[in-house]
Amino acid sequence: MKYLFGAPGTVSGLLLRVGQCLVASASIGAMASAFGFSNYTAFCYLIASMGLQVLWSFGLACLDAYALRIKRNLQSPVLVSLFVVGDWVTATLSLAAACSSAGIMVLYAKDLNFCRSQPQIPCSRFQISIALAFITWFLIAISSFIMFWLLASV
């Protein structure tokens, strides 16, 4: 078993998963509390993608905690392949969701100047949610690289 930072079944891996879970939940919270988000397909997709991320990271956090408790090795090729596929899929979906929402936000805030002229649009909440989605993507990208590295060297 390799004690790489963030590898499955290590304390750093568990912390990384818990971090992903918390930031993604905060992103969902900020978006869901913004009035009128459901009028935008991209913002609904952001919530769906962050929801999937929470489920995936929470599942792996539980697995990491269990492995740490019973001191079990999680780094078999089959398990690591599964983690790699899941991590890459959720990472790509998170980046896609964050970027499509950011595209709309830049359009509203900069190109059309709606954030100033139409104060009923909760721009700041949207922006906080999108920023948190980007942080989630960054954290899951770290996990994805570590998993891929582990798989290639297993």
Q: Where along the sequence are the contacts to a copy of itself (CB under 8 A)? A: 39-42, 92, 95-97, 99-104, 106-107, 110-111, 148-149, 152-153
CB atoms closer than 10 angstroms to residue 154: 13
CA distance linking residue 87 with residue 48, whole number of Å: 16
Contact 64, 10 (CB under 8 A): yes
CA angle 13/14/15 to nearest 5° reads 90
In the bound complex, what is the minimum distance in angstroms from residue 141's beta carbon to a copy of itself? 8
Question: Minimum distance between the CB of residue 66 and a copy of itself, rounded to whole angstroms?
Answer: 28
Closer residue to a copy of itself (CB): 67 or 121: 121
- When the beta carbons of 78 and 152 are compared against a copy of itself, the nearer one is 152
Pick 65 or 135: Cβ nearer a copy of itself? 135
Helix (H) or strand (E) holding 78: helix 77-106
**Shortest separation between residue 153's beta carbon and a copy of itself, angstroms:** 6
